Structure formats: C-alpha cells, structure tokens
Chains A and B, each alone.
Chain A
Amino acid sequence: MTTMSEREIFNIIFLPGFSTAAQVSNISGRGVGMDVVKTNIEKIGGSVELNSKLGQGTSIRLKIPLTLAIVPAMIVASQTERYAIPQVKLVELVRIDGSTPENKIELLQGKPVYRLRGNLLPLVGLKDVLGFQQDQPNQTSNQEVFNIVVLKAERQMFGLIVDEIQDTADIVVKPLSSFLKSLSVYSGATVLGDGSVALILDVLGIAQRMHLTGESSEQIKKENQSEIVVREENTQEFLLFKLNSKSKHAVPLDLVHRLEEFKRADIEFSGDQPVMRYCGAILPIISLNEFLKYPKNSSVEESEFMSVIVTQKGNRYFGIEVNEILDVLRTEAELDEQLCDRKGILGGLIANEEVIIAVNSIEILDQVTKKLSNGEETKSKDISQDLSTQRGLHKILYAEDNAFFRKHITGILQKAGYSVTTAFNGSEALSKLEEAPQETYSMVLSDIEMPRMNGLELATNIRKEAKWKDLPLIALTTLSQDAHVEKGKQAGFNSYLEKLNPEILLQTLDQIVAKRAA
C-alpha cells in the first residue's frame, strides 16, 4: 500500500471482488458493482475517473462518447405514456381549438378528417392505433382542443391525434428485441431525460396498420418500377476516393461491402501483412497507395485514423486502405481500358470534367490472396490445348445489367476461350435466345437482380419451352444465401455461383463442356 500512488489506490475500487460490505446478501455486497461500471463504460469507449479527499468527499467522473445513432425527435403523449416521433417524418403541428368555423375536425363517412389549407387530411388517433381502452367512449367528440401531428408516410400525409405535444429532443435510438419487431408500429426505443423508456413510433408502420397507404403505395410501387425501367442500362455507380495521386480514384460500388474508419494504433500484424480484428475475423488491410506504387505521403501515414473500404472476395473480407473517401458517382461514361499503366487499374473514365481512375479491386485481391496463401501453387494455369479448343466450340449468352461485371466476366470467359454474347437484362436475353437458331448457345449465364426481367423470371421463361428444357442455366450473383439458392433452383437454374469467383465459374463451365463432349 505504501508504495502505491493515490490514483492506484483509488483504482482498487474498480477491481472485481473488492467490497467494504460487512455482510453479503443475495443481491449485494459482492464487490461487483464498480467493476461492472468500469467494464461497461470502457466497452462503449468511455472512461471512469475517481478523485477523493479524506473528509471532503469523492467525485466520480464518467466520460461517455456521443453515440452516432442520435436522432432529433418530437416527444408526444397519450394519457401518461410518452412516444417519440422522428423529426424527418414530421411535417407540421396543428392545434385545433374551434376558434374559427373552419378550424374543426369533420367526419367524412364516420372517419375524422381536417381541412389543411384546403386539402383533406385524414386523421387517426394515437389511442386508436395503439388500442388504448377507451375509458370514456365519447371523450374525443366532447373534447374541444386537439393536437395533431402531421406526418408523412412515403407520399401519403396523415394527421395523428395525440393528447399532448411535449418537446423536441435528440434521442439515442436503441433497437427493440427481435420479438418486438413484428409489432410494426414501433421502430425502436429510447431513454428519456428522466430515465424512463419511450417507444419510437414507426410512421410507415402506423400508416400501414391504419390502411392509409393501401392504394397509394400500389401507385408508388408502379412509379418506382417505371423508374427502374427508365434507368439507363449503362449507368454504373462508383465510390470515389483520394490517393497519393492528383486524380481521383474509384471502385465499382457493387464491390463495396462497408466503409470503415480504423485507428492506426489498432493495426496488428500477421507476418508483414497488416491486419485488423473485424467482426470476429481477421481483416487483411491492403494499402492501395503501396499496391499502385504511388509516392509516399507522410502526413497520411501519420494521421490517427485511416479510411478503409471493406470488400468481399469469396467468404473473406479484405480492407483496402485509401486516403479519404469522397463521394458516390453515377455515370454513363465508358471506361477507357487503354489507360492502364500499371497492375490493379481497370482504366479511366471522364466524369464531372475530370479523369477518374477506376481501380480493379478484384485483380488486387487476387494478387494479394495469392501472396497470402504463401506462394502455394493453386493449380497449373496452362490449360491443355484440347480444353481450349473444346471451349472455343461453345457460345455463351450472358445477361447482366451492371456494365462493370458485364465487362469483367465477359473478359474472363473470352480469355478462357469461350465466345460470349451479352444482354442487358432478362427480356433482352430471352429475345436473343429466341432469335438465334436452335443450339446456338450452349449455356446461359444470368445475373439475378436486373431491371425489366430478372434472372428468376428469365429462368422460368426458358424452362417453359420444351426445346430449352436441357439448356444449362447458371445464375451468377452476389446473393448467395441458401434461401436465394433454393429460389433459383426452383426457377430452373442448374447452378448458383458467386460473381467474384472466376475459378469456380470456369470449373463449372468446363464440367458442362466435358459432359457435352461425352
């Protein structure tokens, strides 16, 4: 004790099992409390400090980081219960007190409505939505003052009658237990300033429960669908970021799993490879500057945080370190593939009057995985002359709406020796198949999510025709959960493959070719 500093002595209080209680009861006195405080505060990134002066008192200071899930909300009440409504769903507040003849609730076919600047606003009572027992059945009609919260659910506006509008507050959204999510009227819960818990109302869920979106949601659906059709078939989305180079760089957005910011100090090493612990697995971090051999920039390397693009290859996640994430770019610009001056670059494209360098993250990951598997020779890459002539005899029809994948996969197939015809979506693929003489195509590859006609519909349509009942159909997709695979099989796909695994794709195709030859 004598050699310990004051601070060290104070910290004993946080050790588990340290207790000053003379007696231990069922629920207290075991010396757990302060340990729980410390571990939980530290778990969320905070800290606990304790200072004490003999005879004067003790101060305990908790430092707690602001959570990111903070939402501005309006707190309303019905009877004594309080609920939070996210401000983004809230249009305005209306108070109806009957002061003027127009300022009143009217009944239309027995349902309350209000004329809001000349337009009829359907009204629902929060008590009716949540099934409060009406103590006095005629209470609402006798009431003179109503508070209405005007809410927006998709494109439908409606008014929610509440007893009281309390205040605005920035609330921390806490998720509900999984079994409460089936109650569609709540989207979460929060702890209010006085320590009580308030439920957060799900405006869309309320609208659905009160059948307020029935017709209009159909309409919205239709409009959305037509929007998808209008979408240009060659539009691609890229994630823009900065490197130690004057030009902006980009990767196709479809390949991005998540964006993360890591503390540089948290990096660990596996051999020479920097890695992070991420979601319970090891995430190798690849510096894109290093890979592309760009000059070093010490101010980036010394910064406390690093921006990482998490991407997936097969079952593994990889982190690609960049200087700064900038924006998402939607463009129809053609990729100029002549512009590759080094490995890992797909080409350049012109957007917003500047040249953007598209990075081929798939190639980079291929290289890195090869390095990580420690030079372990996967398979001899020389394909026998026999196999490549075999492949040359086959024509593949490939349906894919995303220009990047269309190019990438077509490239792989052509390099392997196949000839490929592409289609932008399912219906185009179907008409190409119909127009061509029988047995032109030996197999069909298709993406699942496509506009106009998706992969599942394409497969169903193909299997309808007797002449195509044995045509090999392969789904090529990023959706590879069991449920999707099951659906695909039902629609008529022979196999279901991941987009980013060229080796398995070629293997599967070779099997089909071999079967045909036999």
Chain B
Amino acid sequence: MSSEAISISRRSETTRQYSTFYVADRLYGIDVTQVQEVTKPMLLSQIRLAPNYIKGLINLRGQIATAIGLRELFGLDSENETEKMTVVCRVDGNLLSLLVDRIGDVMEVAQNTFEPSPDTMDQKIQKFMQGVYKTSDSLLTVIAVDSIFKQLNKKD
C-alpha cells in the first residue's frame, strides 16, 4: 500500500463530514449521511392546530414531508424570517424538511476538535445539540436529527 493511501485511510478515521447551514446567522451542521437532499423552498400546506414549529406539509416529488421551522424549534427570534432553503432528512421512515436561512458547504472537521456543548447553552437548543466543533474560523454546532424527531413525538 502506498503511503498516500495510508494517510487517506487515517484521515477518514479521524474526520467527519457535516452538511452545514445557517439559521439566524448561526452555523449548524448535520451529519452528511443523515441528509437526503437540499431543496429550494416549496409550497407549504399549513397544518392547523399543530405546534408553531411545524410549518406545514410539502410535496417532495410525491412524497409528503413535514416542514419544521428550526427558528421556532430552537427558540430563536422569528421576527424577520428569512428561511430560503430546506434540508431534507429521513428519520424512521418520516421525511423531515428543516427550514433554514442559507446552505453552507459540506465541512470536513477533525474529530479532535470536538467538544460537548457547554452547560450555558439555552435549554431550548441544548437538547438538540450533539456538541460543537472548533474550526479555525468558526464554531460548528452539531444538531442530532434523531433528537429533533424525539422532541416532535413527545406529548406536551
């Protein structure tokens, strides 16, 4: 095996890829393997009586996805909504379409820059945070899609 191949395999062991996006100018990431696709916003059919963070249903090529407003879910200010894109994830056979402001790159981050989320985080978002990666120019908040799904299923 050439030395190059070894270095690649070593690299893939210690880095992970995240699909990143912005909500209210904050940077978030979801494990790239959990993201099905990224789409432009689509026509929303509102669901009356649903909690405010459930924004409606969208027709994703014939499959119905539930749109989740991350601003509302995370308790960020929802005054000036600028959600321009959606990140579609599949959890337990359900399609979730997360409304975000802007899509970032797929970031490859080194495992050793990971840290669990500090205790001072707002409770509203803490439960969705897997932790944080410290990159050279920013802090990447990692969101666990499973925890979003769990929260949605919780009876109020």
Contacts and interface: CB of A to CB of B under 8 A. Distances in A.
A109 interface: no
Contacts of B38: 26-27
Interface string A143-185: 0000000000000000000000000000000101111101101
A186 B38 CA distance: 28
Given A26-B105, A177-B66, A197 B94 contact: no
Given A183-B50, A185-B49, 10 more contacts: A26-B38, A81-B45, A81-B48, A130-B49, A176-B66, A177-B66, A177-B96, A191-B62, A195-B59, A199-B57
A199 B59 contact: no
Contacts of A191: 59, 62, 64
A356 interface: no
B155 interface: yes
A130 B57 contact: no
B49 to A, nearest CB: 5
Interface in B103-156: 103, 105, 149, 152-153, 155
Interface in A278-330: none
A179 B62 CA distance: 20
A189 B149 CA distance: 19
Contacts, number: 65
Interface of B: 38-39, 43, 45-50, 54, 56-59, 61-64, 66, 92, 94-96, 103, 105, 149, 152-153, 155
A50 to B, nearest CB: 18
Nearest to B155: A182
A13 interface: no
A196 B57 CA distance: 9
Q: Which of B49, B61, B103 has the most A CB atoms < 10 Å from its CB?
A: B49
A198 B45 contact: yes
Contacts of A182: 155
A183 B59 CA distance: 20
Q: Kindly state the interface size class of chain A when it binds its partner.
A: 20 to 34
A177 B96 CA distance: 9
Contacts of A180: 47, 50, 54, 66
A132 interface: yes
B57 A197 contact: yes
A194 to B, nearest CB: 9
A118 interface: no
B89 to A, nearest CB: 12
A198 B61 CA distance: 15
B47 A186 contact: yes
Contacts of B153: 178-179
A26 B56 CA distance: 25
B103 A27 contact: yes
A81 B43 contact: no
B94 A178 contact: yes
Nearest to A196: B43
Contacts of A271: none
Contacts of A195: 43, 59
B59 A177 contact: no
A130 B48 CA distance: 6
Contacts of A199: 45, 47, 57
Nearest to A183: B49
A177 B51 CA distance: 14
A457 B85 CA distance: 57
B57 A189 contact: yes
A57 interface: no
B141 to A, nearest CB: 19
Nearest to A78: B48
13 contacts: A81-B46, A176-B66, A178-B92, A179-B66, A179-B94, A180-B47, A180-B50, A182-B155, A185-B48, A191-B59, A195-B43, A197-B59, A197-B64
Give 4 closest A-B pairs by Cβ, nearest first.
Answer: A130-B48, A179-B152, A197-B45, A177-B94
B64 A132 contact: no
A197 B58 contact: yes
B51 to A, nearest CB: 9
